[in-house]
Structure 1
């Protein structure tokens, strides 16, 4: 047997059993990976031990980059601008207040105020990787407290560059650049301009060429090359590489290819994020925990208490309310992955000695491990003591996609226009880019993507949608999509057909609302859809008649694709 097989089997067995166990007891997969990393790491006796932790960590860090990129795809620039108040009051405010408090606490235990401030600045950073993964698992990313947590994490990312510049100053090192602040500002501006040009012009141009040539491999390679270039540019400019990836994703959030970009990244993101948590566990040194347990527990308690209270107070000041404040505080009271980088800078600059840095590493790691417990505790406190007396005005989730439209030919765009007039939220997909472009030109919420891809189904949130309308000319593809969607039992499925045979087939397989391609029949399907969405018969008829009259008056080809009838839809 090859020498690598037995260690590989052993490692995978340990990881699998650890994940199953900690998921079973409610602590989640994150803790499972970290504990597995401890068992597999070089600091614990075991059947195998990984030694090159730095190499593993450097690879795993790219998982965090991909994670921030996908978060950026979900965040339009306007949404980030709307968060500016929370970013300033809560995010930046927390970093400053936590640093000042630890500066004071440091003087009480015999440290200088500068060292205490450095420790506070390091501990003020929360873990984007842990918290956002946890919220994603619990489907809370778009909840009110999820959005508030996200704004705090973005502010912390923005604070990293100033903190990196500040640590050597507090360690009384001579700054090698007389104009370092101006230099850093100019580099940051140059980076943002470059990312903007790449995201808005260069990458979309390359992706369109790949789509027109049906080149899936080229599509993926163009995306990954762009992400790598962005990370390299961010590092060269002295900025956070994750912040650069987030900005790139955010600028692509309005792209026609948004969902396909996320689907390309998703598999690698999940694998590398798992590797990241493994690397965290591998880096923990149990002997330091034994030797300095009291000291570690003291500082860990201080971190959890101080950060929780600061987050709660600032959230209330920001007008978010006590429930959101508590959930935010208990979710973000750990110390994050960027603190590892800041610890290294503090050590090399002389602000901290190597032993203090090792203790700090343990505190960071333990705080990450107990994050699921802290998050659960915060949710339980709100539910038990506040749910009956304080209600969150934003607690009712807003459904983004009530209707999913599949196929953006003339009929699909007609249904999209109907949804727009009726105020029904929808998302439309097609794998013919010319049809997507025409839909975009009409102001429709159109996206490039293959609904038969399970990842695209998840992005479309079919589990939450009320209805789907299929407008695909190819008979076999129409049947395949319709049958695939029947797995979503709550979903009302509407389909346009070209033949009576297709109509009968679909109805025999549970597709109640199937009919011919003619405009009148399509409008009839649209009327049925409106009624099922709660519109009265009279209002539905009035709206249908209005759209029909508008079409007669225009009497043009505004709804037609340049290549109508050639909708291949499938890559």
Structure 2
């Protein structure tokens, strides 16, 4: 294989993708539309600069990005949080699927279609795009807003509804599905899936991760995670459950794990790459010839899908007791048709409810609805700002942090600082790459997490951009310096550090760490103060003696460090 045969097409493809996402990001509609448009340009249905084949293979690979996306969402969703959403899931989520299906059944009848066909079309169109919507909300930092939480509940309900819809389509096609499992057997499979995923998440994976950490094997850590993810996907397929739902359940069961942050960091780079590939594959699947030949039909059904879903979502959200602002933003953001509709279209075609041409038209409708999602989201936001008075902030106060203090290192000193913060009611979070230290911290009831703060993703989780202070307790000299240099980039931070020597203290002072000192020197002088008082010195005389000695030692050691630093002059870098 001559790699040169692939270099030029790769350069052209990457250039088109890059230019497209930059243009649409600058237009304020996000990168999603950019990827889809690039996919149209590069797709096999459009005369372009390079030939594209094997779209189905590309889509299968890209679908794993959606799976990883749902897995990371699960990591941020504790089981009790999902349980608190049960009313919204039932009233809005399941209610929307049923009501949309019924309305399309009525619309289909009016247009001369059998009610079963209309119902299937409605069930397909009732599915919104988890990939598009959650990516959009993540880009806009709206995942934790009231409407973001409400949207997520709806999407979870839709994922769950895919299973019964898949079973219902052959029935509506008046087929005797000899391969369909009985309701009892299907229920047993789903229960078995839940038990297996629970065992994998709570026992098998943590054991493997602990072994990997003990042996300091990062590759084994990542491979253990992906083996469990793939096993969960296989079990979900066997049980007839959506793979994305299985991945979400796995992530949710791991949401309380000590390894949660590091698991997310392992998955995130691959997830981001595959999500871009997913949107690219959507664009590649659009056939402009079908779009032009059936433009009127596509426009009518697209308008019907968007209008009906928007109104149904708004109505059900209001019935569920949500504010008008949340209801409008939910309706407009979820108005598109999602990726699971592609699967249901295929099932409907095989069952004979839809023919191949209608399926191709449906594919175009789904793809266009995804493309217009950012514009619908903007329209919903604009309407809520123009006409609604019950406004709320779309994100957290940018000047407030959940954790005002970030503690790095959970050795004896770090745990002591955490206990002081806890007693003083100062919000904090503590991080360490030593799992045993994290375990001891958790045993004391501390807000302790396993993760490397030098990782940009962990820094984001720690909210270093808005935290007030950071305390470093690291025994390794090189790691201490790297941590201090990294933290010095956050200008609002007051940085405190325990050092192992005067030389480290001087180095950190020079690089912007104002509060640095050797814990051993300070503790020794403190004990010396007690000793002097016990020998009869007054408090004032003892303190004066201690201060004079500290100043004398400081001058001597600073002079010595200066000469040594000048001779070595070895810079420390932050990876």
TM-score range, shorter chain: 0.7 to 0.9
| 1:183 is the counterpart of 2:170 | no
Structure 2 counterpart of 1:207: 209
* 1:421 Cα deviation from its structure 2 partner: 3.0
Residue 558 of structure 1: aligned partner: none
> Does 1:436 find its partner at 2:433?
no
* Equivalences for residues 525-544 of structure 1 within 5 A: none
| 1:477-528 deviation per Cα after TM superposition (whole angstroms, max 9, x unaligned) | 212101101111222222222334433432332223334426998xx9xxxx
Shifted more, 134-143 versus 488-497: the winner is 488-497
Aligned counterparts of 2:183 and 2:411: Cα–Cα separation in 1: 54
User: What are the Cα deviations for residues 105-125 of structure 1, in whole angstroms up to 9, with x where unaligned?
Assistant: 111101111111111111011
Q: In the alignment, is the contact (CA less than 8 A) between 1:144 and 1:395 conserved in 2?
A: no
Aligned-pair distance for 1:394? 9.4
The structural deviation recorded for 1:246 is: 0.6
Partner SS state of residue 4, structure 2: coil
Q: Which residue of 1 aligns with 2:422?
A: 420
Q: Report matched runs for 1:334-345 at 5 Å.
A: 334-345=336-347
How do residues 269-284 of structure 1 correspond to structure 2 at under 5 angstroms? Answer: 269-284=271-286
Contact 2:233–2:247 (Cα < 8 Å) also in 1? yes
Residue 507 of structure 2: aligned partner: 505
Matches within 5 A, 1:464-479: 464-479=466-481
* Aligned mates of 2:136, 2:168 — CA distance in 1: 31
Match of residue 265 from structure 2: 263
Q: 1:79 aligns with which of 61, 81, 103?
A: 81
- C-alpha spacing 1:383/1:519, structure 2 compared with 1 (3 Å): farther
**In structure 2, C-alpha distance between the alignment counterparts of 1:508 and 1:483, rounded to whole Å:** 11
**TM superposition shift of 1:140:** 1.4
- Cα pair distance change 1:399/1:106, threshold 3 Å: farther
- Residue 307 of structure 2 aligns to a residue whose secondary structure is helix
Tell me, yes or no, if structure 1 residue 332 matches structure 2 residue 334. yes
Partner of 1:390: 390
Looking at structure 2, the residues matched to 320 and 520 of structure 1 have their Cα atoms a distance apart, in angstroms, of 57
Alignment counterpart, residue 95 of structure 2, candidates 93, 109, 113: 93
Q: How many residues align?
A: 522
Name the structure 2 match of 1:3.
5
Partners of 2:259 and 2:367 in 1: CA distance = 37
Distance, in Å, in 2 between the alignment partners of 1:155 and 1:424 is 38
Q: Distance in 2 between matches of 1:349 and 1:118?
A: 11
| Greater alpha carbon shift after TM alignment, 336-345 vs 410-419 | 410-419
1:16 aligned onto 2:18: yes
What residue number does 2:534 align with? none
CA distance in 1, matches of 2:476, 2:116: 70
**Secondary structure of the structure 1 residue equivalent to 2:266:** helix
CA gap of 1:112–1:445, structure 2 versus 1, over 3 A, is same
In 2, the alpha carbon distance for the partners of 1:320 and 1:470 equals 44
Please give the root-mean-square deviation of Cα atoms over the aligned residues, in Å. 2.1
Kindly name which structure, 1 or 2, has the bigger radius of gyration based on alpha carbons: 2
Secondary structure in structure 1 of the residue aligned to 2:471: strand
Other structure's SS at 1:152 match = helix
Tell whether the 8 Å contact from 2:167 to 2:180 is kept in structure 1 after alignment: no
The alpha-carbon deviation at position 452 of structure 1 amounts to 1.1
Task: Give the match's secondary structure for 1:496.
Answer: strand
**In the alignment, what sits opposite 1:242?**
244
Q: Deviations over 1:406-451 (max 9, x none)?
A: 1011121222223333443332111111101111212222121111
Name the CA distance, whole Å, in 2 between partners of 1:180 and 1:417. Answer: 56
1:446 to 445, 448, 469: 448
Distance 2:466 2:164 in 1: 42
SS of equivalent residue, structure 1 residue 470: strand
* Structure 1: unaligned runs, 5 residues or longer: 525-569
CA distance in 1, matches of 2:83, 2:394: 19
Alignment deviations for residues 334-360 of structure 1 (CA, whole Å, 9 cap, x no partner): 000000000000110011111111111
Partner in structure 2 of residue 536 of structure 1: none
CA distance in 1, matches of 2:94, 2:420: 44
Q: Classify the secondary structure of the residue corresponding to 1:132.
A: helix
Q: Tell me how far apart the structure 2 counterparts of residues 380 and 415 of structure 1 sit (CA, whole Å).
A: 47
- Indicate conservation of the 8 Å contact 1:411/1:519, yes or no: no
The alignment's TM-score, normalised by the length of structure 2, stands at 0.87
Q: Is the 8 A contact 2:108 2:118 kept in 1?
A: yes
Q: What TM-score results when the alignment is normalised by the length of structure 1? A: 0.88
Tell me the residue number matched to 2:67.
65
Change (3 A) 1:281 1:101: same
Counterpart in the other structure of 1:302 = 304
Deviations along 1:512-547, one digit per CA (max 9) or x if unpaired, are 3334426998xx9xxxxxxxxxxxxxxxxxxxxxxx
